[in-house]
Amino acid sequence: MNAPQQPPGWQREGLATLFDRRPDEGIYRVDRSVYTDPAILELEMEHIFEGSWIYAAHESQIPEKGDFITLTMGRQPVIINRDMRGEINGFINACPHRGARLCRTELGNRKNFACTYHGWTFDSSGEALWVQREEDGYPQPLDHINGVGLTRVPRVESYRGFIFASLSDQVPTLADHLLGAAPYIDMLVDQAPEGFEVLKGYSSSVYHGNWKLMLENGGGDGLHPDYAHASLLGVANRKLERAGAVQTMQIDKMHEKRGGQWAFGNGHSGIWFNFPNPENRPIYKRLPELTEIHGETKATWMTSVFRNLSVYPNLHLLDQMATLIRTFRPLSVDRTEITFYCIAPVNEPRNERIQRLRQFEEFFAGSGMGTPDDNAEFEECQKGAEGRNLATSYIGFGLHNRHEGTDEVARSVGIELTHSGIIGYEGCTMTQYDRWLELLTPGEG
C-alpha cells in the first residue's frame, strides 16, 4: 500500500486548530482553509470517501440480473452490479491486467465484463473467465478468483434499498454507521407498500466550490431559504391564485412553524418542520391508509412534515419540496458534482406522479429554480473563503440553547439523537465537522 503523503502539520492537533469550538458560549468558528486547501482534500479522499461508508446507489437502478451502473468513490472508478445470481456487488472498474476501465458507460446490462484492450473477460460476480493465451504466457494456471479476478469493493450493503459501500473494510456495521438516520429513512420507505424506485431521467450539476458547502447546505442550513431561495418563494406566490398550477410546497419563514434540527450522530443530521400546505404533496392522499398502518403520529410525519436527511458524507435524502436522492462528490478542492434522482412509490397513480415530477423539476437539478441559487451561493462562499484576512466562518446559530440527547418529538417517532436545536441550528454543521475530525485522524480520537 502506498500511503498518500501526509502534509506536514495536518496531524490531529493540526486539524483541531481549524476549529474554535465553544458551543456553550455560542461560538463555533471554522477556518475556511477546509474549503480551499488541496492537502485537506487529499486527507478527505483517503479517510472519508475511500476510508468509510459512503452512499453508492439505489437498488432500483439495477433491478435485473446483469444490470450495472458505474460511479466514482473518492477517486476510484467503481462498478455496482447485480450478478447473474441476483447478488449486488461492487468492483473496482479496472481490468486486473493493465487497468483499463471495463465498463465505460453510466449504466447497462452485461452478463460478463470483457476488457476491450486485451480481451480479459470476467463474469458478473468478478471471476476471471478468460485470460488471453493463459497457457502460453504463464508458468502455471492463474487463480481466476483471488489472482486475476476483479477487485471487490470491500463492503457493499443495503439499507431498505439504499446501497452503501466502503473501500475500506475497517468500518463499523452499516447499522452502527447510520444510527438515528435509519428510522428517518424508514419514514420515507414505509410510505410505499411496494417500495420506492428511482425514476427514469437523472441529471447532474457541477459547481465551482468545495463539496462540504453542499453537505452543509442540505444537512442543516435552515437559515438560507428565505434569502437564497427568495426568487422561488416569489414564484410560489405567483402561482397561488392560478387555476390548475401544481403548487409549490411552502418553505418561507420555516422558523415560525413547529420544527427543529437534529443531529443523529456520525455526522448525520436533519431538518424538519410542519408544512403549512401538506395537501399539496402527492403522498398526502395516502394519509388515511398510512394512518391505519403506522398510526397518526408517524403517518403525519410521513405525509405532512418537511424532512431533510443528510447521511454523512455524500447523501441527502430529501422528502420535502419534492422527494429525491441528492448525492455529491468532490472533483477537486473547488469543484463538486451533484447528481439528482427523483424517487417515487412503485406503481404510483398517474396524477400523483405528475404532481411529483413537476415539484421536483421546479426546484431541483441544475435546471430547476432552487438548485442553481444554492450552487451560486456555494461558488460565492468558495471565492469568499480566499479572503484570508477573514479566515473563519461563524457557524454558531442556536448552539447555546441546544438540547443534548433525544428530545420528546424524536422519541415519539422512535429516533435517537445526539443533540438538537431550533430551526437554523448550526450544531448540524458542527456535528459534520466532529465526524470529519474523527475520520481524518483515525486512532487518535
| Residues at the site binding other proteins, with contacts judged by CB under 8 A | 105-108, 199-208, 228, 230-232, 234-235, 238-239, 242, 245, 337, 342, 350, 353-354, 357-358, 360-361, 365-367, 369, 371-373, 375-377, 379-380
* Cβ 71 to other proteins shortest distance, Å: 13
DSSP characters for 350-381?
HHHHHHHHHHHHHHSSTTSSSHHHHHHHHHHH
The Cα-based distances of 92 to 73, 87, 89, 142, 355 in angstroms read 9, 16, 10, 20, 39
CB of 384 to other proteins, least distance (A): 13
Whether residue 295 contacts residue 327, with contact meaning beta carbons closer than 8 Å, is answered with: no
- Whole-number Å distance between alpha carbons of 76 and 53: 14
Residue 122 and residue 112 in contact, taking contact as beta carbons nearer than 8 Å: yes
Min dist CB 238 to other proteins, Å, is 6
How far apart CA 284 and CA 282 sit, in angstroms, is 5
Nearest C-alpha neighbor of 178 from the set 239, 110, 266: 266
Closer residue to other proteins, CB minimum distance, 131 or 333 = 333
The span from the CA of 332 to the CA of 338, in Å, is 13
Closest distance of CB 318 from other proteins, Å: 15
Q: Which residues pair with 228 in a beta bridge?
A: none
CA distances, 288 to each of 45, 189, 384 (Å): 46, 17, 49
Nearer to other proteins, 102 or 399 (CB): 102
Looking at beta carbons only, is 168 or 204 nearer to other proteins? 204
Work out how close the CB of 320 gets to other proteins at its nearest, in angstroms, rounded to a whole number: 17
Q: 205 or 420: whose CB is closer to other proteins?
A: 205
Q: How far is the CB of 110 from other proteins (least distance, A)?
A: 13
Identify the residue whose cell numbers are 447473474.
Answer: 84
Determine contact, residues 294/330, Cβ cutoff 8 Å: no
User: What is the smallest separation between the CB atom of 314 and other proteins, expressed in angstroms?
Assistant: 17
Nearer to other proteins, 97 or 358 (CB): 358
User: CB of residue 228 vs other proteins: minimum separation in angstroms?
Assistant: 6
Burial 312-334 (b: 16+ CB within 10 A, else e): bbbbbbbbbbbbbbbbbbbeebb
Complex with other proteins: residue 42 or 352, whichever CB lies closer: 352
CB of 209 to other proteins, least distance (A): 9
Q: Are 243 and 404 in contact (CB under 8 A)?
A: no
* Cβ closest to other proteins, residue 5 vs residue 105: 105
Question: What distance in Å separates the CA atoms of residue 393 and residue 20, rounded to the nearest whole number?
Answer: 10
Question: Which residue, 319 or 434, has its beta carbon nearer to other proteins?
Answer: 319
At 354, list the grid cell. Answer: 405528475
Helix (H, G, I), strand (E, B) or coil at 288: helix
Q: Which C-beta is closer to other proteins: that of 312 or that of 341?
A: 341
